[in-house]
């Protein structure tokens, strides 16, 4: 989506702002690009003008746009010290430049404690929800999700080990866990893993077979082969019949 032109106003620059580098192991001093160069483009797309406008941060100009600057231009340095830069509200030009430069979000970002706190709260709440769901799962459901996540190695473990591993997974990656727990195909994928382990179906040449009978072909761009057979068992008469056959064997 194209960016729209922003203007400097008292509301948007009425406070001191702190910016932090996104890189790990930030150097003691880091000089951010302060002007457009042919070999290092620094431009902002102005939606109202339908044009890219070259940027330049200058200590003696009111505008950060090259096409609005007049007379001598004194370049201003933008220096992050130990990964951090604080810009006072008395320097609205630099705050505006940092807001619209393409390096914003890539090289650095504004430090917003409230947003960081809210993000952390959301993460904690999701972790708690994932663990709550994991606690309420039945043994068969736990095994199905664990088979989907960890593969057939789950079948050689005791129930307590599988439960522990899945709880750890729910804690470390709650979003992925909740997606699996709410996915109707997860149980079927777990059953497919068990069926393959018991040689009730075999995977070869990008397809699942029951001995010499073709069950379903796996698309070449499918990253999880069990998605295909789970969908097949869920949506076709042949697949549903094969599912009933498997369930009689794995009980």
CA distances from 205 to 152, 161, 209, 213, 248 (A): 20, 34, 10, 13, 27
pLDDT reported for residue 251: 67
- The residues spanned by each domain of the chain are 17-111, 119-250
Q: What is the mean pLDDT of the chain?
A: 90
| pLDDT tens for each residue of 6-43 | 544 444 547 999 999 999 899 999 999 999 999 999 99
Asked whether the whole model's pTM tops 0.75, one would answer no
């Amino acid at each position: 989506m194209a960016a729209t032109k922003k203007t400097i106003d008292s509301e948007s620059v009425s406070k001191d702002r702190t910016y932090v580098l996104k890189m790990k192991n930030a150097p003691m001093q880091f000089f951010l690009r302060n002007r457009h160069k042919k070999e290092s483009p620094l431009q902002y797309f102005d939606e109202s003008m339908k044009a890219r406008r070259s940027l330049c941060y200058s200590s003696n100009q009111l505008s950060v746009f090259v096409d609005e600057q007049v007379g001598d231009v004194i370049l201003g340095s933008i220096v992050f010290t130990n990964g951090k830069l604080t810009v006072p509200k008395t320097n609205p030009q630099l705050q505006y430049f940092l807001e619209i430069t393409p390096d914003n979000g890539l090289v650095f970002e504004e430090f917003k404690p409230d947003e960081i706190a809210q993000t952390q709260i959301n993460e904690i709440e999701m972790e708690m929800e994932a663990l709550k769901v994991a606690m309420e799962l039945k043994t068969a459901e736990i095994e199905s999700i664990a088979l989907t996540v960890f593969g057939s190695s789950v079948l050689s473990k005791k129930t307590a080990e599988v439960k522990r591993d899945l709880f750890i997974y729910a804690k470390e990656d709650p979003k992925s866990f909740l997606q699996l727990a709410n996915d109707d195909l997860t149980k079927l994928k777990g059953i497919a893993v068990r069926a393959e382990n018991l040689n009730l179906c075999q995977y070869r040449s990008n397809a699942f077979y029951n001995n010499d009978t073709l069950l379903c072909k796996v698309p070449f761009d499918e990253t999880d082969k069990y998605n295909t057979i789970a969908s097949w068992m869920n949506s076709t008469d042949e697949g549903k019949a094969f599912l009933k056959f498997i369930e009689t064997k794995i009980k």
